[in-house]
Amino acid sequence: MSRGKNKRGGDHADDVKKGAHEELAANPFEKYDLDPSEGPTAITERLRELAEDATCDEERDEIRAAWEELTMHPLRRLRAAFRAHPEHREPLPRRPRARRAARSTPEPLALLDLWSPPELHALFEDDAALPDLPLVDDPALKP
Protein backbone atom coordinates (compact mmCIF):
# COMPACT_ATOMS: atom_id res chain seq x y z
CA MET A 1 0.00 0.00 0.00
CA SER A 2 1.17 3.51 -0.55
CA ARG A 3 3.20 5.08 2.11
CA GLY A 4 2.21 8.38 3.65
CA LYS A 5 3.12 11.39 1.59
CA ASN A 6 4.86 9.29 -1.04
CA LYS A 7 3.40 8.80 -4.48
CA ARG A 8 1.20 5.82 -5.18
CA GLY A 9 3.08 2.61 -4.97
CA GLY A 10 4.01 0.01 -2.51
CA ASP A 11 6.91 -2.14 -1.54
CA HIS A 12 7.05 -4.22 -4.69
CA ALA A 13 6.39 -1.14 -6.80
CA ASP A 14 9.93 -0.13 -5.95
CA ASP A 15 11.11 -2.86 -8.27
CA VAL A 16 9.55 -1.06 -11.20
CA LYS A 17 11.84 1.28 -12.99
CA LYS A 18 11.53 4.69 -11.44
CA GLY A 19 9.23 6.97 -13.37
CA ALA A 20 7.84 4.16 -15.49
CA HIS A 21 4.36 4.73 -14.13
CA GLU A 22 4.36 8.51 -14.23
CA GLU A 23 1.79 8.39 -16.97
CA LEU A 24 -0.71 7.02 -14.47
CA ALA A 25 -2.08 10.24 -13.10
CA ALA A 26 -2.51 9.99 -9.36
CA ASN A 27 -5.38 11.60 -7.57
CA PRO A 28 -3.98 14.50 -5.48
CA PHE A 29 -5.83 13.28 -2.39
CA GLU A 30 -4.12 9.92 -2.68
CA LYS A 31 -0.80 11.17 -3.95
CA TYR A 32 -0.34 13.31 -0.83
CA ASP A 33 -2.29 11.05 1.52
CA LEU A 34 -5.00 13.60 2.20
CA ASP A 35 -8.37 12.70 3.58
CA PRO A 36 -11.05 14.08 1.24
CA SER A 37 -13.30 14.81 4.19
CA GLU A 38 -10.81 17.30 5.57
CA GLY A 39 -11.46 20.87 4.59
CA PRO A 40 -9.26 23.32 2.67
CA THR A 41 -7.55 24.48 5.84
CA ALA A 42 -6.30 21.01 6.71
CA ILE A 43 -5.31 20.39 3.09
CA THR A 44 -3.38 23.65 2.99
CA GLU A 45 -1.65 22.87 6.26
CA ARG A 46 -0.60 19.39 5.12
CA LEU A 47 0.59 20.56 1.72
CA ARG A 48 2.52 23.41 3.29
CA GLU A 49 4.41 20.91 5.40
CA LEU A 50 5.16 18.87 2.32
CA ALA A 51 6.26 21.93 0.37
CA GLU A 52 8.64 22.85 3.18
CA ASP A 53 10.13 19.38 3.05
CA ALA A 54 10.36 19.39 -0.77
CA THR A 55 13.86 19.01 -2.08
CA CYS A 56 13.50 20.64 -5.49
CA ASP A 57 11.45 23.28 -7.27
CA GLU A 58 9.76 20.70 -9.48
CA GLU A 59 8.40 18.88 -6.47
CA ARG A 60 7.33 22.16 -4.92
CA ASP A 61 5.51 23.12 -8.12
CA GLU A 62 3.67 19.81 -8.13
CA ILE A 63 2.53 20.36 -4.57
CA ARG A 64 1.44 23.88 -5.42
CA ALA A 65 -0.55 22.59 -8.40
CA ALA A 66 -2.23 20.01 -6.17
CA TRP A 67 -2.99 22.69 -3.60
CA GLU A 68 -4.60 24.87 -6.26
CA GLU A 69 -6.57 21.90 -7.56
CA LEU A 70 -7.93 21.05 -4.14
CA THR A 71 -8.51 24.44 -2.60
CA MET A 72 -9.18 27.07 -5.26
CA HIS A 73 -12.45 25.66 -6.54
CA PRO A 74 -14.83 23.55 -4.45
CA LEU A 75 -16.21 21.62 -7.42
CA ARG A 76 -12.75 20.56 -8.54
CA ARG A 77 -12.06 19.40 -5.00
CA LEU A 78 -15.33 17.50 -5.07
CA ARG A 79 -14.55 15.81 -8.37
CA ALA A 80 -11.15 14.78 -7.04
CA ALA A 81 -12.84 13.44 -3.91
CA PHE A 82 -15.17 11.31 -6.02
CA ARG A 83 -12.10 9.74 -7.64
CA ALA A 84 -10.32 9.09 -4.33
CA HIS A 85 -10.76 6.15 -2.00
CA PRO A 86 -12.75 7.48 0.94
CA GLU A 87 -11.71 6.80 4.50
CA HIS A 88 -13.89 3.96 5.76
CA ARG A 89 -11.42 2.09 7.88
CA GLU A 90 -12.18 1.36 11.46
CA PRO A 91 -10.31 3.92 13.52
CA LEU A 92 -7.37 2.55 15.37
CA PRO A 93 -7.43 2.78 19.14
CA ARG A 94 -5.11 5.44 20.46
CA ARG A 95 -1.81 4.01 21.51
CA PRO A 96 -1.45 4.39 25.30
CA ARG A 97 1.23 6.86 26.14
CA ALA A 98 4.27 5.59 27.95
CA ARG A 99 3.81 6.36 31.57
CA ARG A 100 6.30 8.92 32.68
CA ALA A 101 7.91 8.85 36.06
CA ALA A 102 6.19 11.19 38.43
CA ARG A 103 7.93 14.44 38.05
CA SER A 104 9.13 15.58 41.48
CA THR A 105 9.53 19.23 42.08
CA PRO A 106 13.25 19.93 42.18
CA GLU A 107 14.40 21.17 45.49
CA PRO A 108 16.37 24.40 45.47
CA LEU A 109 20.08 24.00 45.73
CA ALA A 110 21.55 24.41 49.16
CA LEU A 111 25.03 25.64 49.99
CA LEU A 112 26.00 22.10 50.92
CA ASP A 113 25.36 20.95 47.36
CA LEU A 114 27.99 23.28 46.02
CA TRP A 115 30.58 22.30 48.61
CA SER A 116 33.21 19.70 47.74
CA PRO A 117 34.97 17.72 50.45
CA PRO A 118 38.49 18.95 51.18
CA GLU A 119 40.10 15.53 50.54
CA LEU A 120 38.64 15.44 47.01
CA HIS A 121 39.68 18.98 46.44
CA ALA A 122 43.21 18.13 47.54
CA LEU A 123 43.39 15.28 45.06
CA PHE A 124 42.84 17.62 42.13
CA GLU A 125 45.24 20.22 43.41
CA ASP A 126 48.21 17.93 43.11
CA ASP A 127 48.37 15.57 40.12
CA ALA A 128 51.14 13.59 41.70
CA ALA A 129 48.93 12.72 44.59
CA LEU A 130 46.54 10.85 42.39
CA PRO A 131 46.68 7.13 43.20
CA ASP A 132 47.83 4.81 40.47
CA LEU A 133 44.74 2.62 40.68
CA PRO A 134 41.97 1.46 38.39
CA LEU A 135 38.92 3.66 38.72
CA VAL A 136 36.91 0.94 40.42
CA ASP A 137 39.41 0.73 43.19
CA ASP A 138 39.82 4.45 43.66
CA PRO A 139 38.63 5.22 47.21
CA ALA A 140 37.72 8.74 46.20
CA LEU A 141 35.09 7.38 43.86
CA LYS A 142 33.65 4.89 46.30
CA PRO A 143 30.18 5.76 47.43
Partner 1 sequence: MKTSPLLARCENEVILGRVFCELTYAGAPLPHRRAASLLDGFRDSAEYAAALRGDVSPLVKRLTQEELKDERDKHHAALLFSHAADCVTFRGDLERAHPLRVRAINLFRSISVSYYTGIADVVVSGTPAVEIKEAARAAGLDELTRVGREARDGALTRSRRGAAAMKILGRFVGDVEGARADEVRVQASAEAAGAVQVALTAVEDGLTEALAKAEPGADVFVWLGEARKVWDWSGQHVDVEKFMVAKAKPICWEIYNAKRWPALRQMTALLRPIVSSLATRIEQTREPIAYAANTAQMLVFESEMDARLEKQIQIAERALRICDTHRNARVVLCDFFVHRANRTLDNASVFGQQGARRRATEDAERARALWPSSKRLSKLDQRLARSRFFG
18 vs 103 by CB, closer to partner 1:
18
68 vs 138 by CB, closer to partner 1:
68
**H or E, element range at 65:** helix 57-71
C-alpha 103/C-alpha 88 separation (Å) is 40
To partner 1, the closest distance from the beta carbon of 105 in angstroms equals 38
C-alpha 59/C-alpha 103 separation (Å) is 45
40 vs 131 by CB, closer to partner 1:
40
- Which residues of this protein are in contact with partner 1, per CB under 8 A? 1-2, 7-10, 12-13, 15-16, 21, 23-24, 27, 30, 33, 36-37, 74-75, 77-79, 81-93
User: Residues, the chain, total?
Assistant: 143
To partner 1, the closest distance from the beta carbon of 8 in angstroms equals 5
To partner 1, the closest distance from the beta carbon of 13 in angstroms equals 5
Closest alpha carbon to 48 in 70, 26, 22, 27: 70
> For residue 4, with 0-12 CB atoms within 10 Å meaning exposed, 13-18 middle and 19 or more buried, which class applies?
exposed
To partner 1, the closest distance from the beta carbon of 37 in angstroms equals 5
